[in-house]
Structure 1
């Protein structure tokens, strides 16, 4: 990111945000709900909500009385945090947010959580495949409830098919601790769902600072203008710095109404005009980077030429924004690390080659675990799996067009990884005496990688095996990474039939016939590695057991190929003609 981009980003983002109709429509929904509630009841500590259907989107607004919200946040217990570990069993809608750390719990502001919990059962259930955008908004503690409601929806939204919910709060206090902030900020698709509007006259957003961390984008404004900030440390610094200058005895209703005034007068407050000409702040020696920081801070009413602390806050924000710029340059890239992982895959390829030379195949060599080099293999397996789990996890959460969750190069690497490593996971699974790997033991990231490949392959017409595919079958990986799970299940069926332990002979027999047809289909398309025919493979063990069960007179399409051992070599050379 260049310095020029950083210099202009906050004001440009604010300029973009305030010109959107949704900011005006969100506030209009809150004001309409306030008008309706005030006509029917007096101030209370409860939260009210209402759904508004607009032509282009749906808005759900949450409202809490300004005075009672202020008392609740500033009063005794207003800053208490409740740990997710305490409500995990009884209220599990936030479980998916738990970060994968030594301490997987996070904490939420207790008054906000109790308000949200009190109405959770009557909140509308929005269809996740609804392409009409959903705007969630609220004021003060109602904004906190809006934030929690938005968070509760994030797990179910498929960002590759729709934009997901968007939350706009006005004068909302901070909602949670550092662990919650990290969980939300880990995925840009989540963090970008939140916009918090903060007035320089509103003390409520600045009360819960100790032990709390902000997330999302903050739009600070004053009578001079407005600017957006996205880095959570910068936002916390600004909330802290402006806390002492915010009137504490402001009439909550007047502060509430001021947000409406701001929204109605957006265009005049977008850009800070005639406030950065003071030579004590900006002169010809000031870098564009620093000038950009100063311009934003002046716009939100924080920096003035006569304030002695101005230079200090400018320096603090400048240092932090420089650090953020560097981090953004190193942000998650789906292709970063692929070359590194190719080294580990090369080791796996060598392991596969040596196993083939020993006439056993790498699946069974690993399953038998007789080689000391398996220890190194396990280490490499873990490294590859951690990488691809993170890759898939990130791709799922980032907004993407359909079928573009992983770039082509990444998807190719992920497919090779899945076909190479999943068989080894299958070996561990059945070695532990378990059953039904496909339905009971398969990792989610394997499933997603396979689905993404199917979407990619659906874009081009299917065809039978070409000559190149036949020629390379000896060195190719089996296309179905769950092939060995099918083999293990077939071995179990054979064992049950041979021992007479099966309670349903017909069921086990039909499963074996299905397996026959499955293998035949793979062979016909040259989609299974020729290593399955090695003498020490589990597949050949199955074949021997199955032939005993069926007898020498049994005939099928697969047995017609398997009974002639010359076909094994022909298949490996791509010369076997399969009818």
Structure 2
């Protein structure tokens, strides 16, 4: 989304209207181009909290988003406090500007905000009049418009007070928490100490805030190591899927380290993107989605090998991790429908990763079907189901070859796909003919496919 005005877009609302303003701003954020458009600014007055901890974390971890929200709260207004309960379901995000007759002060830490929302409410019956509360916000806006500057007259600390604690005391006095005037049920020193602890945690959090771009270049090194492993396995005429599956070399053990590092990164990134308020198809930026697609196509086959090595079955429906599903879903939301293979696809087929990262799961299921067909303990119903599955796999595999979307490594003699083909050829006999069998029975087609000339 772009705005032609040089001024930023400001969304505002009072009370429940403030909640609507926040939700509307969240819906806009994914559509804004932050490089060319000024950030929208949402200013609420007396708005109740919205969203749980997941929403609060999703927004707070992105400074560009968190800075778009300013929530003004008067010490006379009960509405912002109605959802502040012991259960802690609702969590604040953005900056809160807490106001009193003495002044105002800003706070960002969610736990500090919840603490102060409870402690600063005056709660006098005469302040329940919504008109009076609304007037207090009007007076606050007028003061800002006049650029009123208040001099700090705090006498609650001496020169030995640490700067952070002194600053917190000044803030609390500005929002009406004057130590000498507090009721006995409010421990002002405890509030100061808790606020000080949370401010230190907030400063540390801002240094460690999740930043995918900061780590993306590092994980590329692990991908490069896996590319080398893939090439080495191909030179050994087996393919990297089966090399890892069979643990043919000591280097197969080194692959586990790269796998774990990459998986931790992408699991975290997918979780953050999923929690972050988003529009359909805008979950990840193009660069990250491209990297995630390469990761999925490179690493998921190895997870499939681990899965079937444990004697399990039906990986796609029973064992596939969520982050692979989401990465594939987001790619499908943004990718153009596949068409007829072009010259570029044919020329580069030798170096591609198989587009369907679940290809090897289909191969493993086809091998299981072959065993059921040739086994003595299978019922006629199981055998018929296995035949149907094999026919489906045959058409599936031929479709990938026809579109040049499967790696030619599947034709290496040591691959599980070739193992399936040899078993399938015996089962179906020499008289059976189909598009796939015609292709597979002529060994020259393997090289032709690899050069894009099939």
TM-score (norm 1): 0.58
Q: Counterparts in 2 of 1:307-322, with a 5 A limit? A: none
Report the Cα distance in structure 1 between the residues aligned to 2:198 and 2:352, rounded to whole angstroms.
50
Q: CA deviation at 1:440?
A: 0.6
Q: Counterparts in 2 of 1:345-494, with a 5 A limit? A: 345-458=223-336, 462-494=338-370
Counterpart in the other structure of 1:332: 210
Q: Could you tell me whether the CA contact under 8 Å between 1:226 and 1:300 is conserved in 2?
A: yes
Is residue 563 of structure 1 aligned with residue 441 of structure 2? Answer: yes
> What are structure 2's unaligned runs of at least 5 residues?
1-9, 32-43, 155-163, 182-187
Report the Cα distance in structure 1 between the residues aligned to 2:338 and 2:416, rounded to whole angstroms.
30
In structure 1, which of residues 20, 29, 32 is the aligned counterpart of residue 13 of structure 2?
20
In structure 2, which of residues 71, 75, 87 is the aligned counterpart of residue 199 of structure 1?
75
Q: Could you tell me whether the CA contact under 8 Å between 2:74 and 2:133 is conserved in 1?
A: no
Report the Cα distance in structure 1 between the residues aligned to 2:334 and 2:234, rounded to whole angstroms.
31
In structure 2, which of residues 109, 133, 149 is the aligned counterpart of residue 276 of structure 1?
149
Distance 1:329 1:408, change over 3 A: farther
> What are structure 1's unaligned runs of at least 5 residues?
1-15, 27-55, 58-132, 135-156, 162-166, 173-179, 282-288
Moved more, 211-220 or 567-576: 211-220
Q: CA deviation at 1:426?
A: 0.6
Report the Cα distance in structure 1 between the residues aligned to 2:284 and 2:74, rounded to whole angstroms.
37
Q: Alignment partner of 2:349: what SS?
A: coil
Distance 1:25 1:385, change over 3 A: closer
Report the Cα distance in structure 1 between the residues aligned to 2:59 and 2:117, rounded to whole angstroms.
22
Report the Cα distance in structure 2 between the residues aligned to 1:533 and 1:391, rounded to whole angstroms.
35
In structure 1, which of residues 535, 560, 563 is the aligned counterpart of residue 413 of structure 2?
535
Counterpart in the other structure of 2:39: none
Q: CA deviation at 1:25?
A: 8.1
Distance 1:438 1:223, change over 3 A: same
Report the Cα distance in structure 2 between the residues aligned to 1:25 and 1:212, rounded to whole angstroms.
20
Q: Could you tell me whether the CA contact under 8 Å between 1:464 and 1:525 is conserved in 2?
A: yes
Report the Cα distance in structure 2 between the residues aligned to 1:374 and 1:198, rounded to whole angstroms.
63
Q: Alignment partner of 1:426: what SS?
A: helix
Q: Counterparts in 2 of 1:14-413, with a 5 A limit? A: 19-23=12-16, 185-188=56-59, 197=73, 199=75, 215-217=91-93, 218=96, 220-224=98-102, 226=104, 228-232=106-110, 234-235=112-113, 238=116, 253-254=125-126, 257=128, 261-270=132-141, 271=143, 276-278=149-151, 300-302=175-177, 324=202, 327-328=205-206, 331-413=209-291
Aligned length: 403
Is residue 496 of structure 1 aligned with residue 369 of structure 2? Answer: no
Q: Counterparts in 2 of 1:538-549, with a 5 A limit? A: 538-549=416-427
In structure 1, which of residues 498, 508, 515 is the aligned counterpart of residue 393 of structure 2?
515
Report the Cα distance in structure 1 between the residues aligned to 2:362 and 2:129, rounded to whole angstroms.
66
Q: CA deviation at 1:185?
A: 4.3
Q: Alignment partner of 2:350: what SS?
A: coil
Q: Could you tell me whether the CA contact under 8 Å between 2:237 and 2:414 is conserved in 1?
A: yes
Report the Cα distance in structure 2 between the residues aligned to 1:211 and 1:404, rounded to whole angstroms.
33
Q: Alignment partner of 1:379: what SS?
A: helix
Counterpart in the other structure of 1:128: none
Distance 1:168 1:472, change over 3 A: same
Q: CA deviation at 1:188?
A: 1.9
Distance 1:275 1:300, change over 3 A: farther
Report the Cα distance in structure 2 between the residues aligned to 1:318 and 1:373, rounded to whole angstroms.
51
RMSD (CA atoms): 4.7
Q: Alignment partner of 2:432: what SS?
A: coil
Q: CA deviation at 1:184?
A: 6.2
Q: CA deviation at 1:463?
A: 2.5
Q: Alignment partner of 2:340: what SS?
A: coil
Q: CA deviation at 1:373?
A: 2.2
Q: Could you tell me whether the CA contact under 8 Å between 1:214 and 1:236 is conserved in 2?
A: no
Report the Cα distance in structure 2 between the residues aligned to 1:339 and 1:502, rounded to whole angstroms.
53
Report the Cα distance in structure 2 between the residues aligned to 1:200 and 1:568, rounded to whole angstroms.
79
Distance 1:499 1:171, change over 3 A: closer
Q: CA deviation at 1:574?
A: 1.2
